[in-house]
């Protein structure tokens, strides 16, 4: 983390104005991230946001820093590569629930066990927003959409439980309707040395505007406000069993730091000869005849 004496404003991380629908939860995620980066004393050229495809994937265009808009479901492996090539950067992978827990589910699981020092922000709106409202991996059973007109028969994926089972060293959950708490969670997720998963309930007000309960349609923000259980300081996030029970007890509708393992070393500490010098600055000795042999293959 760089040292700085000049206070940084969240505005330093503002770029073009987002084209998200008014009231989209992703606005809350963006402003919380800008605030968190400022609070950490980062500057835009310390940060790389690597995003996937989706409405949420646009975040790297709206957050002023280095950025890579990758393929659908591929933000996490690219982010790991960026971090290993230049460990001096703060690397954030970002995307939606379809991106991370559907097409990118394989990468997600392996990134969790690999524990590269990357923060993964998932804007979980329980629907495919960009492609117009199809059922996603976290849509609840019974969800009606163009792909499940009779209601989804599938049980949703439980990403936090998957992460916990596979050895994720930091797991948190936030809500874009509570941006102050969300920003504080982002600060902790970024400070963690290792892979951190921050799942954010970030409502899609166009394709999942209301949630039905007891025959009544509730505004999606109101529904989350009514159901989310907010952890306080009495909760100890260092016990995996307790974290699992907590998720089961509240059907995953919990916000706060759910699990934190500060003893497991990150991936880079297991790499022989690994150095924190960016790869681009390392001298790569290459004998002249080795180079000639290599070049000959391309002639
Ligand atoms: C390989 C591939 N398959 C499918 C798509 C089409 N596609 C683009 S975004 C998307 C889903 C977006 O949903 P989500 O990841 O939840 O993000 P949101 O738009 O809700 O933020 C899909 C299926 C694609 N771009 N690439
Ligand atoms: S479609 Fe949904 S997720 Fe996409 S910008 Fe609009 S509200 Fe947000």
Q: Tens digit of pLDDT for each residue in 189-231? A: 999 999 999 999 999 999 999 999 999 999 999 999 999 999 9
Q: What is the dihedral of CA 265, 268, 271, 277, to 10 degrees?
A: -140
Q: Would you state the structure tokens that stand for residue 136, as one six-digit string?
A: 């996603």
139 lines ligand 1 (CB under 6 A): no
For residue 112, pLDDT beyond 90: yes
* CA of residue 183 to ligand 2 center, whole Å: 21
pLDDT of residue 71: 98
Does ligand 1 lie within 6 Å of residue 56's CB atom?
Answer: yes
Q: Is residue 1 pLDDT above 90, yes or no?
A: no
Q: Is the CB of 100 under 6 A from ligand 1?
A: no
pLDDT at residue 291, as a whole number: 87
Instruction: Please determine, for residue 49, whether its predicted confidence score (pLDDT) is greater than 80.
Output: yes
- Note the pLDDT of residue 211: 97
Cβ-count burial 6-24 (b if 16+ within 10 Å, e if not): eebebeebebeebebeeeb
**DSSP codes joined into one string, 48-109:** EEEE-SSSGGGHHHHB-SEEEE--TT-HHHHHHHHHHH-TTSEEEEEEEHHIIIIITHHHHH
Tokens at residue 58, please? 């646009």
pLDDT band for position 5 (50/70/90)? Answer: low
pLDDT band (50, 70, 90) for residue 6: low
pLDDT of residue 286: 81
Give the residue-averaged pLDDT of 159-174: 98
Determine the atom of ligand 2 nearest the C-alpha atom of 21. Answer: 6
Nearest CA residue ID for atom 6, ligand 2? 21
Average predicted confidence (pLDDT) for the chain: 96
Beta-ladder partners of 214: none
Residue 242 has pLDDT above 60, yes or no: yes
Q: What is the pLDDT of residue 7?
A: 75
pLDDT band at 287 (very low <50, low <70, confident <90, very high): confident
- 177 pLDDT exceeds 80? yes
Per-residue pLDDT tens over the stretch 254-265: 999 999 999 999
Whether residue 274 is predicted with pLDDT greater than 80 in this model: the reply is yes
In whole angstroms, give the CA distance from residue 65 to residue 216.
Answer: 43
- How sure is the predictor about 144, in pLDDT bands with cuts at 50, 70 and 90? very high
Q: Cα–Cα distance between 115 and 140 in angstroms, integer? A: 29
What is the percentage of the chain residues whose pLDDT exceeds 90? 93
Ligand 2 nearest atom to the CA of residue 132, by list position: 1
Domains of the chain in start order, with CATH, are 10-272 (3.40.50.970)
Give the model's pLDDT for residue 53. Answer: 98
Q: Rounded to two decimals, what is the model's pTM?
A: 0.94
Ligand 1 contact, 128 CB (< 6 A): yes
Partners of 259 in beta bridges: 171
State the distance from the centre of ligand 2 to the C-alpha of 130, rounded, in angstroms: 7
Specify the range with the lowest mean pLDDT, choosing from 36-40, 147-151, 187-191, 279-283: 279-283
Instruction: Enumerate residues lining ligand 2, CB below 6 A.
Output: 20-21, 24, 26, 55, 125, 129, 204-207
Per-residue pLDDT, averaged over 223-247, amounts to 98
């Amino acid at each position: 983390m760089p040292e700085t004496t000049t206070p940084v404003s969240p505005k330093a991380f503002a770029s073009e104005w987002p084209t998200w629908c008014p009231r989209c939860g992703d606005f809350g995620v963006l402003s919380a991230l800008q605030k968190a980066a400022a609070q950490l004393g980062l500057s835009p050229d310390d940060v790389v946001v690597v995003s996937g495809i989706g409405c949420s994937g646009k975040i790297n265009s709206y957050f002023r820093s280095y950025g890579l808009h990758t393929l659908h479901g591929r933000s996490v492996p690219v982010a790991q590569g960026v971090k290993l090539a230049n460990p001096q950067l703060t690397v954030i992978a970002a995307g939606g629930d379809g991106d991370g827990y559907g097409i990118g589910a394989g990468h997600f699981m392996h990134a969790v066990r690999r524990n590269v020092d990357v923060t993964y922000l998932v804007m979980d709106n329980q629907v495919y927003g960009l492609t117009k409202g199809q059922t996603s991996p976290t849509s609840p059973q019974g969800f009606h959409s163009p792909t499940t007109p009779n209601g989804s028969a599938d049980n949703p994926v439980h990403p936090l439980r998957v992460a916990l089972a596979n050895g994720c060293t930091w797991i948190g959950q936030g809500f874009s309707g509570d941006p102050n708490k969300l920003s504080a969670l982002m600060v902790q997720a970024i400070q963690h040395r290792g892979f951190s998963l921050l799942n954010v309930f970030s409502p899609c007000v166009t394709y999942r505007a209301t949630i039905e309960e007891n025959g009544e349609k509730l505004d999606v923000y109101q529904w989350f406000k009514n159901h989310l259980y907010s952890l306080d300081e009495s909760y100890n996030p260092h016990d995996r069993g307790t974290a699992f029970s907590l998720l089961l007890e509240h059907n995953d509708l919990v916000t706060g730091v759910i699990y934190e393992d500060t003893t497991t070393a990150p991936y880079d500490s297991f790499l022989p000869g690994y150095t924190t010098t960016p790869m681009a600055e390392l001298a790569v000795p290459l004998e002249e005849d080795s180079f000639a042999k290599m070049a000959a293959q391309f002639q």
